[in-house]
Amino acid sequence: MTITVPRPKLNWRERLYLPAIVAGLAITFKHFKNLLLGRTKVTMQYPEQKWDTNLPDYYRGAPALVRDEDGRVRCVACQLCEFICPPRAIKIIPGEIPSEDRFAKVEKYPEAFDIDMIRCIFCGMCEEVCPEQAIFLRKDYAITGYTRADMVHHKEKLLEIGGVMHGVVLKWNKKK
Amino acid sequence: MDSFFVITSLLKIVGILFIVILPMVSYAVYAERKVSAAIQDRLGPNRVGPAGLLQPIADMFKLLLKEDFTPRAANTFYYWLAPCLAVMPAIITIAVVPFGSTLFGVPMVIADVNVGILFVFAIASLGVYGIVIGGWASNSKYPFLGGIRSSAQMLSYELSLGLAVIPVFLLVGNLRLTSVVRYQIEHGWFIAPFIGDWTNPWKWLLAIPMIVSFLVFTIAIFAETNRLPFDLPEAEQELAGGYNTEYSSMKFSLYFLGEYAAMITGSAVIVTLFFGGWHFPAIPDGSHGWIFGLINIAVFFAKVAIIIFFFMWVRWTLPRFRYDQLMRLGWLFFFEIALVNIFIVAAILPFIQS
């Protein structure tokens, strides 16, 4: 389909371009004046003002391991999250729960669980794939450190960020 | 040689160049960032120092400490020479501009040559060399193209630059810049020649070619300093290259600051020719006391600052010209308007002088 674009002939005032330029200058000057008079409130001064209270529920921050209400570390070291993590940021060394322990039915626990935050891309696939509801993505986004070794979160740090999660499915408890 | 003259000239050179112009260039970069931010509804740099005023110092440290390399294929002598050639015309031209009246009897202009404006045009033409040599010596496609385009643009607008201000000198009678300022003090600023002589109809008629002359000269200064809307040689940086692609650290900063220094010099010439230089109505010149000499210098720099703000304001308002539109404007439109303008003022001239 050929469409003819209408090209109107400009009258002499429009061809001079000066009135259009002056109108444009007036618009930009209005923006300049509004900023100087303090009427523009677009910029957020970052460290002093943050938007953490407005983060949506599904915001993907740093990953964390959780405990349930009995105090058990919910992770059973199945290594599914390690398998699915796209940048291979998670490293798990599984260990055996001794048979005298209260939770001997579970049989496996993570002896070491490292997430390298430099590699983590905050995609949330580990949270999606975990069959035990053990790893969740929290709301903090500013992870910093001075060396690369500082930026690896070990199991204690992950448990500390995670805390206790209520309302998870307790599938390893005794049935009634 | 009179030693008093030598000592005062040296003081003026050091004072104006190192204490006023070079800091002004660095803070012009800061001002550009703040003004452009204000026009775009955001804040500019406001973390380094109070309201970001130490930002140019931080930038200076960054640029000094960057790795300074020379590409192996580049022609080393010309590669090192080109940024210096880009900065030099802007700084030399400021020598003939009168930035004040007199201070303790010493006239506030470094070199009051009687071919003032010819000196300005001659040295401004040297500015093309910096870009052409920089583009050619980098030995790479994109700087070459950027350099060629920029040199063609600057050459074509130098014509309009020269022709546009001939009406001013027709009225004044000689080419000395201090005479231009003296004439404007007696007869009203050239941008509005009817001030002070409200009843003369020829003065009102003179305002039209004077405003045209001001507009053509200002637009030609935009094109000479490669500022928007004529900044195609620089905009190539966003697209591909531009003449300063292969430059790093101090050489790049020389090009960059040279552009701002050329903008300041261009503003100074515009203020001298059209806005009355250091004159402000009801403030006498420095022969009545050193305090007035200082006030005149301050008035001059305030006017230059306003014109610099205008340069930045236009930059963030207009889109840039396509190269063929730019060349067409320079050769067909502004050239003819400047020529016709000369004839009109020459026709009005006998009635003004009677």
The 10s digit of each residue's pLDDT in B95-107 is: 889 988 888 878 8
Selected for mutation to probe chain A from B34, B35, B39 (highest A CB count within 10 Å) is B39
∠ Cα B304 B309 B312 (to 5°): 130
Compute the distance between CA of residue B201 and CA of residue B351 in angstroms, rounded to an integer.
Answer: 10
Q: Where are the alpha helices (DSSP H) in A37-147?
A: 80-84, 125-129
Model confidence pLDDT, tens digit, residues B47-86: 888 888 899 889 888 888 888 788 888 788 888 888 888 8
Cis omega (within 30 of 0) for bond into B229: yes
First to last CA, chain B: 43
Compute the distance between CA of residue B144 and CA of residue B139 in angstroms, rounded to an integer.
Answer: 7
Compute the distance between CA of residue B293 and CA of residue B310 in angstroms, rounded to an integer.
Answer: 26
Residue-level pLDDT at B232: 76
B77 reaches A (C-beta below 8 A): no
Q: Kindly tell me if the per-residue pLDDT of B168 is higher than 80.
A: yes
Measured from the Cβ of residue B274, the count of other Cβ atoms closer than 10 Å reads: 23
User: Lowest-pLDDT range, A50-64, A152-166, B45-59, B224-238?
Assistant: B224-238
Burial A54-79 (b: 16+ CB within 10 A, else e): eeeeeebbbbbbbbbeeebbbbbbbb
Which residues numbered 307-336 in B keep a CB inside 8 Å of some CB on A? 313-314, 316-318
Compute the distance between CA of residue B336 and CA of residue B163 in angstroms, rounded to an integer.
Answer: 10
Q: Mark yes or no for CB contact B313/A32 under 8 Å.
A: yes
Q: Give the distance from residue A18's alpha carbon to the nearest chain B alpha carbon, in angstroms.
A: 10
Instruction: Please report where in the chains the tokens 């957020």 appear, as a residue.
Output: A44
Selected for mutation to probe chain A from B35, B40, B214, B311 (highest A CB count within 10 Å) is B40
Chain A residues within an 8 Å CB radius of B35: 32
Measured from the Cβ of residue B265, the count of other Cβ atoms closer than 10 Å reads: 27
Q: Kindly tell me if the per-residue pLDDT of A86 is higher than 70.
A: yes
pLDDT band at B308 (very low <50, low <70, confident <90, very high): very high
Long-range own/partner contacts, residues B276-279 (CB < 8 A, 24 or more apart): B276/B181, B276/B184, B276/B185, B276/B189, B276/B190, B277/B98, B277/B177, B277/B180, B277/B181, B277/B184, B278/B98, B278/B99, B278/B100, B278/B101, B278/B108, B278/B181, B279/B181, B279/B184, B279/B185, B279/B189
Q: Where are the alpha helices (DSSP H) in A49-124?
A: 80-84
**Cα torsion A37, A41, A44, A50: sign:** positive
∠ Cα B69 B72 B74 (to 5°): 90
Instruction: Please report where in the chains the tokens 């515009």 appear, as a residue.
Output: B270
Q: Give the distance from residue A143's alpha carbon to the nearest chain B alpha carbon, in angstroms.
A: 22
Residue type at position A36:
L
Residue-level pLDDT at B35: 92
Residue type at position A132:
E
Chain B residues within an 8 Å CB radius of A32: 35, 38-39, 313
Read off φ and ψ for residue B154, nearest 5 degrees. -65, -40
Residue-level pLDDT at B304: 94
- Between A and B, how many CB-CB pairs are < 8 A? 33
Pick from A18, A27, A35: CB nearest B38: A35
Model confidence pLDDT, tens digit, residues B319-339: 888 888 888 888 999 999 999
Residue-level pLDDT at B238: 56
Compute the distance between CA of residue B91 and CA of residue B261 in angstroms, rounded to an integer.
Answer: 7
Hey, what are A162's tokens?
A: 């995670």
> Are B228 and B314 within 8 A, CB to CB?
yes
Compute the distance between CA of residue B317 and CA of residue B267 in angstroms, rounded to an integer.
Answer: 19
Chain A residues within an 8 Å CB radius of B317: 21, 24-25, 27-28
Q: Give the distance from residue B41's alpha carbon to the nearest chain A alpha carbon, in angstroms.
A: 6
Residue of A nearest to B39 (CA): A32
Residue of B nearest to A21 (CA): B318
Q: Mark yes or no for CB contact A31/B42 under 8 Å.
A: no
B76 reaches A (C-beta below 8 A): no
Q: What is the mean pLDDT of residues B246-251?
A: 78
pLDDT band at A175 (very low <50, low <70, confident <90, very high): low
Read off φ and ψ for residue A114, nearest 5 degrees. -115, 130
Compute the distance between CA of residue A165 and CA of residue A63 in angstroms, rounded to an integer.
Answer: 14
Q: Mark yes or no for CB contact B317/A27 under 8 Å.
A: yes
State what percent of residues in chain A have pLDDT above 90.
34
Q: Mark yes or no for CB contact B38/A29 under 8 Å.
A: no
Q: Kindly tell me if the per-residue pLDDT of B270 is higher than 90.
A: yes
Pick from A21, A28, A42: CB nearest B39: A28
Hey, what are A88's tokens?
A: 């291979």
Read off φ and ψ for residue B310, nearest 5 degrees. -60, -40
Q: Kindly tell me if the per-residue pLDDT of A132 is higher than 70.
A: yes
> What's the pTM value of the predicted model, to 2 decimals?
0.84
Burial B277-286 (b: 16+ CB within 10 A, else e): bbbbeeeebb
Q: Kindly tell me if the per-residue pLDDT of B239 is higher than 60.
A: no
pLDDT band at B137 (very low <50, low <70, confident <90, very high): confident
Average pLDDT value for chain B: 86
Compute the distance between CA of residue B260 and CA of residue B243 in angstroms, rounded to an integer.
Answer: 16
State what percent of residues in chain B have pLDDT above 70.
97
Q: Mark yes or no for CB contact B41/A36 under 8 Å.
A: no
Residue-level pLDDT at B237: 56
Residue-level pLDDT at A16: 79
Q: Mark yes or no for CB contact B42/A28 under 8 Å.
A: no
- Residues 6+ away with beta carbon under 8 Å from A38: none
Model confidence pLDDT, tens digit, residues B220-233: 999 988 887 887 77
Chain A residues within an 8 Å CB radius of B40: 31
Chain B residues within an 8 Å CB radius of A35: 37-38, 41, 43
Residue-level pLDDT at A176: 54
B43 reaches A (C-beta below 8 A): yes
Residue of A nearest to B316 (CA): A28
Pick from A18, A32, A43: CB nearest B39: A32
Pick from A28, A40, A43: CB nearest B313: A28
Polymer length in residues for chain B: 354
Pick from B37, B41, B318: CB nearest A24: B318
Q: Kindly tell me if the per-residue pLDDT of B213 is higher than 90.
A: yes
Residue of B nearest to A46 (CA): B47
Chain A residues within an 8 Å CB radius of B332: none
Residue A108 burial by CB count (10 A; 0-12/13-18/19+): exposed, middle or buried? middle
Which residues numbered 21-40 in B keep a CB inside 8 Å of some CB on A? 35, 37-40
